[in-house]
Amino acid sequence: AAGKGVEGLVAVCTSCGKVETVTNAMNQGTTERSSDSETFLFKFGIEPMNPDGTKFGAVKEVTRERAVVDEKCPKCSHKGLNFYCMQLRSVDEGQTVFYECPKCGHTFSQNN
């Protein structure tokens, strides 16, 4: 039986290039091939891929556009901090503001 969390993922055999869903690969184990060198095994010689063709588990570069406030960094005194807000406490309380210095990378938060 297939493991949890593999629905929708595909596996690519690194030797023959065959593409198979991970669930099918785990259930079948091998494909019908005439030689051992072309055997498609889930646990050997494949690379799990997302349906869009990217490697499973690969870290995607995320760029965030953040607002800038005209405040000084408490660590390096750089003026101009990036910030964003999140509601971490109950709804009747204010938001938490997270600040990040683009110069030194120092981060801190403030409850409003």
Query: What are the domain boundaries of the chain?
Result: 1-60, 67-111
22: three-class secondary structure by DSSP: helix
Q: In what order do the strands lie in the sheet with 67-72?
A: 67-72, 79-86, 96-100, 107-111
Ranges of H-type helices in the chain: 22-28
Phi-psi map region of 57: left, alpha, beta (phi>0 left; psi -120 to 50 alpha): left
Whole-prediction pTM: 0.43
CATH number of the domain located at residue range(s) 67-111 in this protein: 2.20.25.10
Q: How far apart are CA 22 and CA 107, in angstroms?
A: 40
The tens place of each residue's pLDDT in the chain, 112 residues long, gives 444 455 666 666 666 777 777 667 666 554 444 434 334 434 445 566 666 767 666 665 555 678 899 999 999 999 999 998 888 777 788 888 899 999 999 999 988 7
- Let me know: does 25 contact 12? Beta carbons within 8 Å: no
